[in-house]
Structure 1
Amino acid sequence: MTKVTPELLLHGYAAGVFPMAGSRDDPDIHWVDPRRRGVLPLDGFHISRSLARRIRRADWQITTDRAFRAVVEACSDRPETWINPEILDLYLGLAGMGFAHSLEVWEGEDLVGGVYGVTLGAAFFGESMFSRRRDASKLALAYLTHRLRAGGFRLFDTQFLTAHLASLGAVEISRAEYHRRLRRALDSEAAFDPPGYSADPSPVSSSGDSSVSGGV
């Protein structure tokens, strides 16, 4: 079997597939290309009134790439996970190469939420997220989508569509449509840390799809 390297991971993402292990203890890595793909339209993130208030309260701190390993480990800290030790090492390698990034939510010194993923061209491939406080993962996604829009990204791949992601505006598209969008995104450039970018709570809280006004 071909050894999976960070470079091979990048080739996989560019081809439209992503890696998963069967479980924490499964030593094998499988390539996945779902028939239906989840994506989060960057101009369609749903911010409810309650989430907007949570963002404006600004009692949590947001950072990026400050605790990448801790975010991945927190994402795998659940009874069943597809993140095995080899996958953790591979994404640490991608982070060291500048192709993987994390966004962290802090309550004082405590890491209470976060999300991580891979960037190629103008595509962001969301891998996993976690929450240790109510709304922490939603807040992380709100800040992430705001950052991706500012950086010129064109595709936010969520891999699968879950009820949680659907409530925030994610949709499901066909494999063929996903590959079309991926090609367009890979032909473009974007920056995860755009020059002069500032994630102030007020614009973040009002930057989503305002058509959703109730609580989520």
Structure 2
Amino acid sequence: TAESVREPSGIIEAICIGWFTAECIVRFIVSKNKCEFVRRPLNIIDLLAITPYYISVLMTVFTGENSQLQRAGVTLRVLRMMRIFWVIKLARHFIGLQTLGLTLKRCYREMVMLLVFICVAMAIFSALSQLLENGLDLGTKNKDYATCWWVIISMTTVGYGDMCPITVPGRILGGICVVSGIVLLALPITFIYHSFVQCYHELKFRSARYSRSLSAEFLN
């Protein structure tokens, strides 16, 4: 709205959007292959990060600050949530996010294996908890979903404390669930960690080599 634009946060947002828009336009103009530029994932993310601001401004201008704008509030909130793509834009300049993306790309099998481990353990321990621990303090009628939630929280050692077993067999099962979660999570995470370190050094070496090549071209 017009009032939000006058606020400091609105002014900062407008400046950032203007900067991002100018950057995208300049990069599009100087790019040799326009079709390849449009198909690049990071450029698509840039477009998704910029577009919601202009759409929300246009909706505010055409609908006005009245009941029509309130009816469009859900759409505006969804568009504003797309501003999370601003964070992904940092991957272009931040080696840490590049390392994370490359690690997830190379370790997708380990990630799937981790997900399978968690799902299998969740099915086993949730069934056992309902069998051995009828007195589980769930506080809800949907015991199937609640026991799955309890298993996930226990295996990841988060332990919110919103539900807990109150009988001896249930507490023994809870201890086994916690220890099993530590073991199951440690196996694939070790491979992911080593891949992350390898990707980090690889990208760092590539960045240093690129900087040296630019320096050599500048000196020549």
Greater RCO (Cα-Cα under 8 Å, separation 6 or more): 1
TM-score normalised by the chain length of structure 1: 0.21
Larger fraction in helix: 2
- Higher-Rg structure is 2
Larger fraction in strand: 1
